[in-house]
Amino acid sequence: MLVPSKKPSPCLPFPYPKRFVVIRLDPVGMVRHLEDPQALAEAQDITPKKYLFYLNYALDLPGPHSRWCRYSAYPVASALRPSEPQLGITPDMVMPIAPNDTCAKGREPIRPEPPFPFDNCFFWIRSSMVVRIKRKDAAEFDDRRATRLSVREHVAMLVSWRDDSRRIAHFVEERCRLAQSPSATGSPASGTSSPPAGPQPSPASSAATSLRRSASSDDDVGRTENSRDIDHDDGASSVSTSSSDDLADYNLFGWNADPALAFVPLLDAWLELEENITQSEIGKPTDFYEEHEVIKSILTRALARRGDE
């Protein structure tokens, strides 16, 4: 799975995991295979923005002719997270990327190597998602230009949600307890649970509701108290599976036909951050979700037309 060796080649058709990338959706590439003129025209009308993402780990074993590779990835935001009151998620449930230290809440901000070129960026809790990064042929990904996280910082990022995850779990447990109490069928209880308090951002786009679909256990992985004390080789990466059936579910080689793959975001990507985006141009993850929803609706209508033929 795109695991760097001791002496990795600096240029590859796909980026290594634990790298930050500038990305842009490819609407035309996502619908071209349908050979539907209407879908193609609608996709061509979309002007996608550029965004920052962090590649958590690869989900495929790409071959010489693979056109894309799937990754688990986190969007990188330049603002606090939209709240989701029904889940107990508040805007301060973020992890700052140094030099930003807003909402660090006593934690050390995540420190990329080399130093991150933007000073207003965060990871959001429960925002990981699966994306497809397109292959680069003529212009390969030059890992010497990459901004990355060491294994120690990567683990620190994953375990940074420990306290926030406990707050969410407590909120959900309390909500369930109140729902099951005798008073739940009568008038509202005066002690009805509400989300933990936190700073409130400006009203978010309605696309923020898409965040609930991308909630991932990746955010809740760690319980290590001193995550930065872990000493690993930077090339180490693994995906644990409980059985051969679990491993088969990953469809690592792409041999199993999966209609849902067409709906997974297809992205152009660049490792050279400052050459491809400025701090003021960093798009909101909620805008990315909106763009993706538009493309998904185009695909759905095109498939419906095909079924009617």
In a domain, 5, yes or no: no
The answer to whether residue 62 sits within a structural domain is yes
How many CA atoms lie less than 13 Å away from 143 in the CB half-sphere?
Answer: 20
Predicted confidence at residue 232, as pLDDT, reads 38
pLDDT band of 222, cuts 50, 70, 90: very low
**Residue-wise pLDDT tens digits, 25-62:** 999 999 999 999 999 999 999 999 999 999 999 999 98
Domain extent, residue 222, equals 11-308
CA count, 13 A, side-chain hemisphere, 159: 17
Total structural domains within the chain: 1
Question: Is the model's pLDDT at 196 over the cut of 80?
Answer: no
Q: What is the mean pLDDT of the chain?
A: 82
Residue 3 falls within a domain, yes or no?
A: no
Residue 242: band (very low, low, confident or very high) from pLDDT cuts 50, 70, 90 = very low
Q: How many CB atoms lie within 10 A of CB 194?
A: 11
Q: Tell me, what's the pLDDT at 137?
A: 74
Considering the domain boundaries, does residue 57 fall inside one? yes
Would you state the pLDDT for residue 224? 41
Using CA atoms, how far apart are residues 4 and 99, in angstroms rounded to an integer? Answer: 27
Q: What is the pLDDT of residue 11?
A: 85
Residue 2 within a domain: no
141 within some domain:
yes
